[in-house]
Structure 1
Amino acid sequence: MSGVIFLAKICTLKKQKDFKLVYQKGKVFGNRNLVMHYLKNGKDTNRLGIIVSKKVSNRAVVRNRIRRQLKEAYRLNENQFALGYDLVLIAKASCKDEKYPVIEKSLKHLFYKKNLMRQDHD
């Protein structure tokens, strides 16, 4: 089993009450491709929820691709983001036509604009 790399698992929001709490008490910010709702959770980790509705595309293949791209963009940049937040990312219809680098840049833009970047990251 040498050579096997285990990736850290991203903590996710799963329960509807968790999503509702972020919507009701959290803050919201968006850009051309994404909307982010965020709320301090008092923990030392972030929890991520991703929503790609049928407004984006009726095809599940397209919605799942966008969801995977967002999750991967978050995972690769997680060490740059501040900890202690519940985050809900909502994809806009414009995501459907974008390539991965644009989606990643949009995600980083949201965190940067709301000062959710770590000050001590490399």
Structure 2
Amino acid sequence: MALPKQHRLRHSREFSAVYRHGSKAVSEHLVVRVLAQNTAASPGLNEVKADPPKFGISISQKVSKRAVIRNRLKRQVRAAIRQLLPSIRCGLQIVVIVRPDSVECEYGEFLRELEQLLSKLEVIDGHS
């Protein structure tokens, strides 16, 4: 099941802005980049805007040459995002990058790592 349209990054320029100017946190299987919406460079993530948070998921062919595997990983990350969505602050653009050693990773691991990274970047309030 896909994320609702208002929660998706859809254009390459949005992804590029997050890559260029966003804050970054890294774990064993995921990299998360966060940028406050409508800003060229994020001076701080304390700014809260009315726009809902927007997400993009990036999985390169380095993870797996097989689209079936990449799509399964993308579904697992999307499910983790959906579960954490109510606790995520508004006004942010977030890109989740799946790292190449993630092929054997399960949903529970993605959820735990994503929650840790988002807490580290001060995107969610504590732990849900």
TM over 0.5, yes or no?
yes
Q: 2:4 aligns with which of 4, 9, 20?
A: 9
Q: 1: distance between equivalents of 2:15 and 2:50?
A: 16
In the alignment, does 2:76 pair up with 1:69?
yes
Residues 86, 69 of structure 1: alpha-carbon distance in 2 compared, 3 angstrom cutoff: same
Q: 1: distance between equivalents of 2:120 and 2:32?
A: 11
In the alignment, does 2:95 pair up with 1:88?
yes
- Contact 2:80–2:114 under 8 Å retained in 1: yes
Post-superposition shift, 1:44? 2.5
Post-superposition shift, 1:9? 1.8
Give unpaired runs (5+ residues) of structure 1. Answer: 1-6
Q: In the alignment, which residue of structure 1 is the partner of 2:45?
A: none
Q: 1:25 aligns with which of 18, 21, 45?
A: 21
SS in 2 for 1:97: coil
* 1:39-95 alpha-carbon deviations (Å, 9 max, x no partner): 001443111000011010000000000001101100011112222100111000222
TM-score (norm 2): 0.82
RMSD: 2.0
Fraction of identical pairs, as percent:
29
- Contact 1:43–1:85 under 8 Å retained in 2: no
How many residue pairs were aligned?
115
Instruction: Could you list the structure 1 runs, at least 4 aligned residues long, displaced by more than 4 angstroms after superposition.
Output: none
